[in-house]
A and B are shown apart, each in its own frame.
Chain A
Amino acid sequence: MKKQKTYVWPDLVFKEFLMIIVLTIILIIWGLIMNAPLREIAAPGRSENPSKAPWYFAGLQELLVYFDPWIAGVMIPVIIAAGLIIIPYADTNPQGKGGYTFSLRRFAVVNFLFGFLLWWALIFIGYFLRGPNWQLYLPWESWETVKETGNHLRSLSPAVGLVCISFYFGLGILLPPLMSIDLYLLYGSLRYIVVMTLILLMYAVPLKILLRLAFNIRYVLVTPWFNI
């Protein structure tokens, strides 16, 4: 069957032009009714509380509650970028190209969407639900009410932590092929291990958040050099 083709001029160019006009109008109206934020002049000695990042970085800032800065601010963004880059090389499933056919690529879609929604959930919490001292404030709560910082946090002992982490990654990587879920076949061994490690790292983020909220666990692994 021959593909139906349509001329770009004028049909597509017309749509683009329309889009440009609509967006220009939206931006002008937006610019007229809402001012870009501007607080007092920067004062190095007097810190803002809370000092919030713009919304697109609020998710990373929210992660600072649960992870040390080198993980929240450096490792996680780097791993996300690296993970995104390898997606096309990791996902060798030839099906579902150029169309929204999710049933043919459930595994890829489910995991991507999980990360995508997690990112937005963190942004939502960080941007809308955090107040002074980065405490949880619901939108209708006044920031005047002082919240106590519940810090009876503890950490797992290094041995327990190491066992937990090994179990998590060991089982996560070994179980699917042992249960003969055909992910392993689909990906080939090296590719499989890389993909699974990245996916397990992703799920480790909400898992650590849960551990902290449910069991007051600060660090899963404490070492003389770094804590996770």
Chain B
Amino acid sequence: MLKEGKNIWEKLKDSNLYKSIFRHSYEDTTKNRALQVRSNIFLHLHPVSVPEHAFKIRFTWCMGGITFFLFLVEAFTGVFLMFYYHPVPEFAYHDMKYLEFDVPFGIILRNIHRWAAHLMVFTIILHMLRVFLAGSYKPPREFNWVVGVVLIVLTFLLSFTGYLLPWDQLSYWAITVAANMMGAAPFIGHEGPFSVVNKYNDIRFVVLGGTEIGANAILRFYVMHIIVLPAAAIIFMAVHFWRIRKDGGISGPL
């Protein structure tokens, strides 16, 4: 029942519809501060309250959070790039040109995707440095450090697979250098020491989908870059964040 003397906004807030969406009021009370975090799927990554030192930029350098944000930027801009990119040698390079000269804001899209990726590599390295220097990997957080190492490896692999996609001279020859290194791997590379494989079944062949960098390589790199590695990164990040909470929240002296 609507009561007399209420303006439309108050009426709205009294409605079933509103209450079904927003579960609590926004008055600044302790209870609401807690509910705000508890009842929001995105915010509930956080605990309701954290020790004061964890707020300090001087403790975390914000690097974990920034790395996460940059990952989201990559996912967001990446989806838009996918609308314009064909993972085949005949198109890939021209799609870059198309983005640069024809697609509205295309060049900015590509630039942001590239620079955020570089920044992410940089911030993840700084995050690792801060975790090390603060001794935050010590018990009970040993395993979260391991999860972190997996994440940094995944980040490097994402960069590596993304690098081939523009199909220009830079990417082609950088991947050539890297692929030849794989061919030189011990045991599983055909040119490596103690090789047990040949040119047609070694690790280089598996990664490139052939003996040369061509259509198969670009497709493999693309699939890894847009689905396999991001999915793995998301899973490990979920574990990473979950473990921060389960290991007793962010580390601190005692």
- A-side residues, CB < 8 A to B, are 3-13, 15-16, 19-20, 23, 27-28, 30-32, 34-44, 46-48, 51-57, 61, 64, 68-70, 72-75, 81, 84-85, 87-89, 91, 94-102, 105, 109, 112, 116, 225-226
Contacts and interface: CB of A to CB of B under 8 A. Distances in A.
Q: Which 4 A-B pairs have the closest CB atoms?
A: A73-B181, A51-B173, A42-B172, A88-B142
23 contacts: A6-B49, A9-B48, A10-B36, A12-B55, A23-B69, A23-B73, A31-B115, A32-B108, A36-B111, A37-B170, A38-B168, A48-B169, A51-B170, A52-B170, A54-B174, A56-B118, A70-B181, A73-B184, A74-B185, A88-B145, A99-B253, A101-B135, A109-B133
A105 B167 contact: no
A23 B69 CA distance: 9
Contact of A41 (B109, B159, B168, B183): B168
A95 B134 CA distance: 11
B166 to A, nearest CB: 6
Contacts of A53: 174, 177-178
Contacts of A3: 51-52, 252
A20 B96 CA distance: 28
B177 A84 contact: no
A42 B113 CA distance: 21
Given A38-B168, A52-B174, A85-B146, A8 B48 contact: yes
A69 B152 CA distance: 22
A88 B100 contact: no
B50 A225 contact: no
Nearest to B168: A39
Contacts of A112: 132
Interface residues of B, number: 90
Contacts of B146: 85, 88
Q: Which of A51, A68, A109 has its CB near the most chain B CB atoms (within 10 A)?
A: A51
Contact of A87 (B132, B172, B184, B192): B132
A72 B173 contact: no
A52 B176 CA distance: 11
A74 to B, nearest CB: 5
Interface in B10-67: 30, 33-34, 36-37, 43, 46-52, 55, 62, 65-66
A6 B54 CA distance: 9
Contacts of B110: 36
Contacts of B168: 37-42
A128 to B, nearest CB: 15
Interface of B: 30, 33-34, 36-37, 43, 46-52, 55, 62, 65-66, 69-70, 73, 89, 93, 96-97, 100, 107-116, 118-119, 121-122, 128-129, 132-139, 141-143, 145-146, 149, 152-153, 156, 159-160, 163, 166-174, 176-178, 180-186, 189, 192-194, 212-213, 251-254
A16 B65 contact: yes
A228 B134 CA distance: 36
A8 B137 contact: no
Given A84-B128, A88-B141, 11 more contacts: A3-B51, A5-B51, A7-B30, A8-B48, A28-B112, A38-B170, A48-B169, A54-B118, A81-B153, A94-B138, A95-B135
A51 B181 CA distance: 14
A14 B160 CA distance: 34
B47 A8 contact: yes
Given A54-B163, A55-B118, A70-B193, A7 B48 contact: yes
B173 A48 contact: yes
